[in-house]
């Protein structure tokens, strides 16, 4: 399985050899704007060859299984949050929504923290693929229970 590495703002990726542990900073800026998944074959100075996959996201996404709901065009939609990051969510609705990229929603969801905290966020739809919807938070400030959840819940 390919190791996932993040591209820094300077266009570099810090790649760690799984065999010897040596870290190599590699210039990958030429791949920063490629729309497709980029996998590279890397050979360490120790001779070990391995694959890496470049991740261009600003924030790491974490898999979750949270429940939520929204009201859109006077109809209630329940959904599952599949993954979560500081900037957005991937949700899976029970039925297709007649929604377009760029539309705004207010979503309510329950965290899986000890207090089962209820969170309400305004989001912008960024991607629609049937019942899978990618949304981005309208604000990157998370002063509610969601902020500490992001900070302490994920490694």
Distance of CA 62 to the CA centre of its chain: 6
The size of the chain, in residues, is 155
Euclidean distance between CA atoms 121 and 129, whole angstroms: 21
Residue pLDDT, tens place only, 71-98: 999 999 999 999 998 889 999 998 989 9
- Predicted confidence band at 57 (pLDDT cuts at 50, 70, 90)? low
pLDDT of residue 3: 83
Q: Are both 80 and 135 inside the same structural domain?
A: yes
Euclidean distance between CA atoms 146 and 67, whole angstroms: 14
Q: Are both 47 and 110 inside the same structural domain?
A: no
Q: Are both 100 and 36 inside the same structural domain?
A: no
pTM: 0.65
Q: Are both 149 and 100 inside the same structural domain?
A: yes
Domain of 12?
3-55
Q: Quick check: 75 and 102 in contact, CB under 8 A?
A: no
Question: In the chain, how many domains are there?
Answer: 2
Q: Are both 36 and 68 inside the same structural domain?
A: no
Question: For residue 86, what are its two tokens?
Answer: 């500081």
Q: Are both 97 and 136 inside the same structural domain?
A: yes
């Amino acid at each position: 399985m390919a190791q996932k590495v993040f591209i820094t703002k300077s266009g570099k990726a810090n790649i760690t050899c799984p065999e010897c542990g040596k870290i190599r900073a590699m210039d990958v800026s030429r791949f920063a704007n490629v729309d497709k998944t980029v996998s590279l074959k890397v050979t360490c100075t120790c001779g070990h060859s391995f694959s890496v996959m470049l991740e261009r996201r600003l924030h790491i996404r974490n898999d979750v299984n949270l429940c939520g709901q929204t009201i859109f065009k006077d109809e209630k939609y329940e959904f599952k949050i599949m993954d979560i990051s500081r900037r957005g969510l991937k949700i899976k609705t029970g039925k297709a929504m007649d929604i377009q990229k760029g539309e705004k929603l207010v979503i309510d969801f329950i965290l899986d923290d000890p207090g089962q905290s209820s969170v309400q966020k305004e989001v912008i739809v960024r991607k629609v693929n049937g019942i899978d919807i990618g949304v981005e938070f309208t604000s990157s400030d998370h002063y509610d229970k969601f902020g500490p959840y992001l900070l302490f819940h994920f490694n």
